[in-house]
Amino acid sequence: MQAQKFNSPAVNAHIQKISSQISDPDLRQLFSQCYPNTLDTTVVFKTINNLPDTFVITGDIHAMWLRDSAAQVWPYLLHLPQDPQLTAMIAGLIRRHSACILIDPYANAFNDGPGHSEWMSDHTAMLPELHERKWELDSLCYAIRLAHGFWQNSAERTPFDSQWLAAMKLAVATMQVQQRKQQRGPYSFTRSGSWQADTLACDGWGNPSKPVGLIASMFRPSDDATVFPFLVPSNFFAVVSLRQLAAMVDALFGDSAFASQCQALADEVAAALQQCAIVQHPKHGVVYAFEIDGYGSALLMDDANIPSLLSLPYLGAIAADDPVYINTRRFALSTDNPWFFKSDQFEGNGSPHTLAPMIWPMSIIMRALTSDQDDEISHCLQMLKTSHASTWLMHESFAPDQPARFTRSWFAWANTLFGELISKLAQNRPHLLLKKD
């Protein structure tokens, strides 16, 4: 068993407190194992030139994804006021995100400094610092989300320096380029000898799109290629992130011009979503499409990875009682969604990333996080506590009729997301944690 990477007294105290509120011993053990998993196994924290620096691997892949690393530490933000060392660690991750974006805003995953990657032969502008160079709009959004959450939960301001501001300006400029209004921009990507979802069509530029104000994302948060370039959940996420960034740069730097630029882009994307991303489903009525191309074509599905259509209220992108979201949620959690799978005991969304039919615990967790129904949340908890195959950790995916057949035994994002769910239930619906089956 590997040594604990990072210890937080505040996190330890939280685990003890929440565990005392859980009557089910299996759910209690699952929470106590999952919640600290990111700190226990994935964090490399140090100081460089008297400033914090943090590298967070995703788990069984020794590389840092902007998305995963931001999501992995997200539930710990509430402990910052009680733990200066935890504050320094997450400040170090924000600084590392800034450095990574300045190296290449199109990359999704990074090495810990110059190194080797199995993907160095990809046909794109690979650099030694990159693990993978898939342009995923949500990667930049997650970096902004973490910075904003840190800003709200801590008085520490050292991560917000000239490097961070430069990274944020490059992030926004990249989003604007990928609106592809005049030209398709500098990014292209192909991978030799790979399956369809791991490379881009049209000689690496992706399928055609018509400029409508949305931001093209050539890959999904699953790291799979998009079919149509305008990934709707990621564009919703971008609206939230850009508005958060506008508030931050105005308050921290007094940069009203950049704040206005962020706000204007957010408004443009928001308007385009309402105009172009709502489609008619034959059974569920008006729903949000998963991907569109601006010409009128739409892909109707949902993927377990976040941002997903299901996760939009969780990300603050849309109200849970929005009529179009309600229809979309009903569609996403039904067999009308081609990536929704079920058996007698389990049901949830999967992903083309793990092929069919595999359910992602992340989708079950997100279903619970976006529900206001006790019965539905209890059903999700039952599935989660009986699908870990005696590992007491979340996995990437599992077979609906055979949970012992799973992918990725070490997937830290799913673990801390489960811990976040239990923490929120302890605060908002504590009676659900006191129920015994």
Per-residue pLDDT of 13-41, as tens digits, reads 999 999 999 999 999 999 999 999 999 99
Percent of the chain past pLDDT 70, that is, above it, reads 99
Residue 43 DSSP one-character state: E
Q: Residue range 389-411: average pLDDT?
A: 97
Which of the four pLDDT bands, split at 50, 70 and 90, describes residue 435?
Answer: low
Cα 207 to Cα 212, 256, 291, 293, 325: the distances in Å are 15, 36, 12, 8, 27
- State which amino acid sits at residue 420: E
pLDDT digits (tens, 9 = 90+) for 97-153: 999 999 999 999 999 999 999 999 999 999 999 999 999 999 999 999 999 999 999
pLDDT at 4: 86
Q: Is residue 357 part of a domain?
A: yes
Q: Is residue 84 part of a domain?
A: no
Which of the four pLDDT bands, split at 50, 70 and 90, describes residue 233?
Answer: very high
pLDDT at 2: 60
| H-state helical runs in 346-409 | 361-369, 374-385
Q: Is residue 427 part of a domain?
A: yes
pLDDT digits (tens, 9 = 90+) for 62-72: 999 999 999 99
- Domain range for 375 is 7-41+339-437
Structural contact between residues 310 and 363, judged by C-beta atoms closer than 8 angstroms: yes
Buried b (16+ CB within 10 A) or exposed e, 37-56: bbbbbbbbbeeeeeebbbbb
Give the orientation angle of helix 66-73 with respect to helix 84-103, to 10 degrees: 170
DSSP characters for 72-111? HHGGGGGGGGG-HHHHHHHHHHHHHHHHHHHH-TT-SEE-
Cα 408 to Cα 27, 367, 370: the distances in Å are 21, 21, 25
Q: Is residue 76 part of a domain?
A: no
Which of the four pLDDT bands, split at 50, 70 and 90, describes residue 1?
Answer: very low
Characterize the bridge pairing of strands 291-292 and 298-299.
Answer: antiparallel
Q: Is residue 298 part of a domain?
A: no
Number of domains in the chain: 1
Q: What is the mean pLDDT of the chain?
A: 97
> 292: which strand partners?
230, 298
Whole-angstrom Cα distance, residue 231 to residue 290? Answer: 6
Q: Is residue 430 part of a domain?
A: yes
Neighbours of 252 (CB within 10 A): 15
pLDDT at 236: 99
Percent of the chain past pLDDT 90, that is, above it, reads 97
Which of the four pLDDT bands, split at 50, 70 and 90, describes residue 194?
Answer: confident
Token digits for 302? 């949902």
Q: Residue range 260-270: average pLDDT?
A: 98
Q: Is residue 80 part of a domain?
A: no
* Residue 265 Ramachandran class (φ > 0 left, ψ -120 to 50 alpha, else beta): alpha
pLDDT digits (tens, 9 = 90+) for 285-298: 999 999 999 999 99
pLDDT at 269: 99
For 407, phi and psi rounded to 5 degrees?
Answer: -110, 140
Structural contact between residues 353 and 197, judged by C-beta atoms closer than 8 angstroms: yes
pTM value is 0.98
Q: Considering only residues 65 and 1, tell me which one the structure prediction assigns the higher pLDDT.
A: 65
Is the per-residue pLDDT at 195 higher than 90? no
Neighbours of 135 (CB within 10 A): 25
Q: Is residue 73 part of a domain?
A: no
pLDDT at 8: 98
